[in-house]
Amino acid sequence: MPHLQAITLQDYPVADRLNGIGEYYFSQKLRQIDQLRKDGKDIINLGIGSPDLPPHPSVIKELHEQSIKSNVHAYQGYKGSPVLRNAISNWYDHWYGVQLDAEKEILPLIGSKEGIMHICMTYINEGDLVLVPNPGYPTYKSAAKLAGATVLEYSLKEENEWLPDFQLLEELVKKAGEKKVLMFINYPQMPTGKAPTKKLFEDLVSFARNNNVLLIHDNPYSFILNEVPLSILSIEGAKDCVIELNSLSKSHNLAGWRLGMLCGSEKNINNVLRFKSNMDSGMFLPIQLAAAKALELGKDWFHKLNQVYAARRNKVYKLMDLLSCTYDKNQVGMFMWARINNKYEDAYQLSDAILNKADVFITPGGIFGPAGKNYIRISLCSTEQRLEESIDRIQSII
């Protein structure tokens, strides 16, 4: 018999599915920033979209009052509390004009990022085609690859107003042959801030239905600096070919609470539940009940929230002007996207220069795909004071 070499724990191999999957960029960058802070540097982080504002006081009060009850600490149902599902249904009806059956067409999630993985593991077989936007949220690509997909990026270009090229998409689908095709979309688009229109959603639904494509629409930014929140599920026939992910992270400042939702047809909900029910045992009930309270908030909540973001955005305009960037003021969401000048080879070089010389971190657009290499993204999740301080620091090095 051949001699088998023992594998020690120190060199125990990881699964092949991790080949080509690196640590999430912001996970690495936050470690670097933490180390710089330990070294005594006051780093201003304008990179990550983690809301720094608190939830509404009534939501925190609801969490507290529910948490001290003695009968709320058990495992919960895998489909979430009926109270939360009904609140989501009412919220979709009120704000998006979309009617969802709370029992059959809604699945609460421990964050919509987790939902991306649930969907990929539910629908993707080895070699299936997944289309992801470039630039776009990196998790679409990594989750699809972990599920075994063949991933193709479809480019979004500034000259096309960051909209999909449907002719190109049809060519990509034809090349897939008999393979299943799943496609991620995201409007308001991150990182470009492009707002959706009803026509865009109509075109996407028509494309999906005509080409047998399952669309996954990621919709966490629809209320931020946007007067007309839209859901693709408002388009006739959308439930036949679309699953929509949504979240309370940005709209209600509940990012750390991990509260998302998956909405679509009863069949798609049940399919995803087959995977999800094997991955977690539901959310803490008081968090679900507090989320239901958050979803009752009205126009005043969003108005006050967006007043803060609008004032911060004006500061970011000044910062981008200082860096001689070009940008569109019609962007929505909690980031600003801007093209850098030709002084720098790419946005990574610009980002590193500002971090090393001014102790300010700005996200290089290349992390969202090759199409973003000459762009930067600046988060609005910092106070006006810190944004003004960033401007002063950068001014001192230019």
Give tens-digit pLDDT for 9-31. Answer: 667 787 888 787 767 676 777 78
Residues 16 and 146 reside in one and the same domain:
no
Cβ neighbour number for residue 202 with a 10 Å cutoff: 16
Q: What is the pLDDT confidence band of residue 4, given thresholds at 50, 70 and 90?
A: low
Q: Are residues 319 and 228 in the same domain?
A: no
The pTM score is: 0.92
Cβ pair 216, 184 in contact under 8 A: yes
Assigned token pair, 239: 């439930």
pLDDT at position 20, please? 76
Judgement on whether residues 195 and 289 belong to the same structural domain of the protein:
yes
Give the range among 25-34, 92-101, 271-280 with minimum mean pLDDT: 25-34
Residue 81 has pLDDT above 80, yes or no: yes
Q: Is residue 59 part of a domain?
A: no
Check whether 212 has a pLDDT greater than 90: yes
Q: Name the domain count of the chain.
A: 2
Q: What average pLDDT score do residues 149-164 get? A: 96
388 assigned to some structural domain = yes
Q: Which of 294, 309, 329 is the last residue of a domain?
A: 294
Phi-psi domain of 282 (left: phi exceeds 0; alpha: psi -120 through 50; beta: other): left
Cα angle vertex 30, ends 29, 31, to 5°? Answer: 90
Could you tell me the end-to-end alpha-carbon distance of the chain, in angstroms, rounded to an integer?
Answer: 69
Shared domain check, 355 and 261: no
198 belongs to a structural domain = yes
φ, ψ (nearest 5 deg) of residue 148: 100, 15
Whether residue 33 sits in one domain with residue 89:
no
For residues 341 and 356, membership in a common domain is answered with yes
Q: What pLDDT digit, counting tens, does each position of 35-46 carry? A: 888 888 888 999
Residue 2 inside a domain? The answer is no
SS3 annotation, the chain: CCCCCCCCHHHCCCCHHHCCCCCCHHHHHHHHHHHHHHCCCCCEECCCCCCCCCCCHHHHHHHHHHHCCCCCCCCCCCCCCHHHHHHHHHHHHHHHCCCCCCCCCEEEECCHHHHHHHHHHHHCCCCCEEEEEECCCHHHHHHHHHCCCEEEEEECCHHHCCCCCHHHHHHHHHHHCCCCEEEEECCCCCCCCCCCCHHHHHHHHHHHHHHCEEEEEECCCCCCCCCCCCCHHHCCCHHHCEEEEEECCCCCCCHHHCCEEEECCHHHHHHHHHHHCCCCCCCCHHHHHHHHHHCCCCHHHHHHHHHHHHHHHHHHHHHHHHCCCEECCCCCCCEEEEECCCCCCCHHHHHHHHHHHHCEECEEHHHHCHHHCCEEEEECCCCHHHHHHHHHHHHHHC
In contact, 55 and 252? CB cutoff 8 Å: yes
What is the residue range of 276's domain?
70-294
Q: Are residues 43 and 136 in the same domain?
A: no
Same domain assignment for residues 210 and 124: yes
Alpha carbon distances (Å) from 203 to 28, 29, 164, 197: 38, 38, 10, 10
CATH number assigned to the domain comprising residue 311:
3.90.1150.10
| Residues 276-316 pLDDT 10s | 999 998 999 999 999 999 999 999 999 999 999 999 999 99
Q: Which of 270, 294, 318 is the last residue of a domain?
A: 294
Mean local confidence (pLDDT), 365-372: 95
Q: What is the pLDDT of residues 60-73, one digit of tens each?
A: 999 999 999 999 99
Q: How many other C-beta atoms are found inside a 10 Å radius of the C-beta of residue 320?
A: 20
Does 246 fall in a domain?
yes
Query: Residue 4 falls within a domain, yes or no?
Result: no
Q: Is residue 286 part of a domain?
A: yes
- 7 falls in which pLDDT band (50, 70, 90)? low
* 177 and 275 inside one domain: yes
Shared domain for 264 and 289, answered yes or no, is yes
Does residue 63 lie in a domain region?
A: no
CATH number of the domain that residue 282 is part of: 3.40.640.10
- pLDDT tens digits along 101-155: 999 999 999 999 999 999 999 999 999 999 999 999 999 999 999 999 999 999 9
The residue out of 237, 259, 294 marking a domain boundary is 294
- Residues 227, 326: one domain? no
- Considering the domain architecture, whether residues 137 and 274 belong to the same structural domain is answered as yes
